[in-house]
Homo-oligomer: A and B are copies of this chain.
Amino acid sequence: MRLFKKSSQKAGLPPGTLMHIGKNRTEEVRITLIDYDEHHVEERPDLTVESCSPFKASPTVTWVNVTGIHDIAVIEAFGKVFDIHPLVLEDVVHTGQRPKMEDMGDYLYIVLKMLSRANGENTFEAEQFSLIVGNNFVISFQEREGDVFQPIRDRIHTGKGRIRKSGSDYLAYTLMDAIVDNYFVILENIGEKIEILQESVLTEPDPSNLREIQELRHEMAFLRRSIWPLREAINALLRTESSLIGDSVAPYLRDVYDHTIQLIENIETLRDAISSTLDIYLSSLSNKMNEVMKVLTIIATIFIPLTFIAGVYGMNFKFMPELEWHWGYPAVCLLMLILGVLMLLGFKRKNWL
């Protein structure tokens, strides 16, 4: 995971210049539209921008979902059809935005980060998700195929819950709620990784743990940078005086807001856990080193003196009376044995064994 998005290519361009910053994550731009009110639902896949135009003024709620933001021409067309400010479009295609909410008068502009678990891998990927919330339409921009909105589409089609009876503000809430709920899934996944790591670090510290800890730190830093401003954005939405957000949505927004607070709490818990994992890792290393040292010391301390004694009686002096004694050899062996046992007892007393 990179420390942050590159935005240096934009340096020097005049403000309002559309330029896609980020990776191309899908082949072509796909526009899908769902139009509904209490009594009807209509889904149209693979539209052109222009064919969305009539839905703008219709009294029904229209959700235009755009997958792929690398095609500047499409984004500019949206700008024209839905009358969106160039600075907003600039932000839509620049994937290095912080989550934020901006009240543009006729519509609200909301940016957040949508996470998805990378297939088969033990990590997650993030993409930028922009929302344009108008009077009776919502335009959502995502970077690539695959999202967390299938349950919402189902609810619209089946008419379950309040969604069909509510306006574009409730739709926008539902989308944000789905994304925020998905954060919990990601966090739990990371939480489990940390618990496993802590266990392995306690029992068998390994240099590779260091890289894992580092990786987790980066992920938490990213999540933190995503959620803190998200909370602010939702708070701004709660306090906005815009007529686009009806009073009936307020309790639901407050609910999402509570969720972001809980997310932040969980993130701080995980950050603590990661940093204590590093502590444990280092202590475990010290423990192991200590153990290694003890073994070395015990072996060396017992045998070095014994070897010295053997060395003494290996000297070739002419006159070494002990050498001539008949019981010399057994006596020395006994001496060595006693010495060795004494030292072992000493270590026992020091609790080294």
Query: Which residues of chain A have a CB within 8 Å of any CB of chain B?
Result: 2-4, 6-8, 10-16, 87, 96, 98, 100, 148, 150-151, 155, 160-163, 177-178, 181-182, 184-185, 187-188, 191, 194-195, 198, 202, 204, 207, 210-211, 214, 217-218, 221, 225, 251-252, 255, 258, 261-262, 265-266, 269-270, 272-273, 276, 278-297, 299-301, 303-308, 310-320, 322-326, 328-329, 332-333, 336, 350-352
Interface pair A148/B11, CB less than 8 Å apart: yes
Q: Which secondary structure characterizes the binding site on chain A?
A: helix
Interface pair A311/B307, CB less than 8 Å apart: yes
Q: Considering the chains assembled together, what is the distance between the CA atoms of A207 and B282 in angstroms?
A: 12
Interface pair B8/A188, CB less than 8 Å apart: yes
Partner of A313, one of B185, B221, B315, B352: B315
Q: Considering the chains assembled together, what is the distance between the CA atoms of A67 and B220 in angstroms?
A: 38
Partner of A315, one of B4, B310, B352: B310
Q: Considering the chains assembled together, what is the distance between the CA atoms of A304 and B340 in angstroms?
A: 14
Interface pair B4/A352, CB less than 8 Å apart: no
Question: If the complex has contacts A296-B296, A299-B301, are A318 and B307 also in contact, measured as CB distance less than 8 A?
Answer: no
Of the A-B pairs whose beta carbons lie under 8 Å apart in the complex, a sample of 24, sorted by A's number, is A2-B191, A3-B191, A3-B195, A8-B184, A14-B163, A15-B161, A87-B255, A198-B214, A202-B210, A207-B284, A210-B280, A225-B265, A286-B286, A293-B296, A295-B301, A296-B297, A296-B301, A299-B304, A307-B311, A308-B310, A317-B325, A317-B332, A318-B325, A318-B328
Partner of A285, one of B14, B290, B312: B290
Q: Which residues of B contact A218 (CB under 8 A)?
A: 273
Question: If the complex has contacts A184-B11, A281-B283, are A4 and B276 also in contact, measured as CB distance less than 8 A?
Answer: no
Q: Which residues of B contact A251 (CB under 8 A)?
A: 87
Interface pair A303/B308, CB less than 8 Å apart: yes
Question: If the complex has contacts A181-B11, A304-B299, A316-B316, are A286 and B282 also in contact, measured as CB distance less than 8 A?
Answer: yes
Question: If the complex has contacts A12-B181, A258-B98, A269-B4, are A290 and B290 also in contact, measured as CB distance less than 8 A?
Answer: no
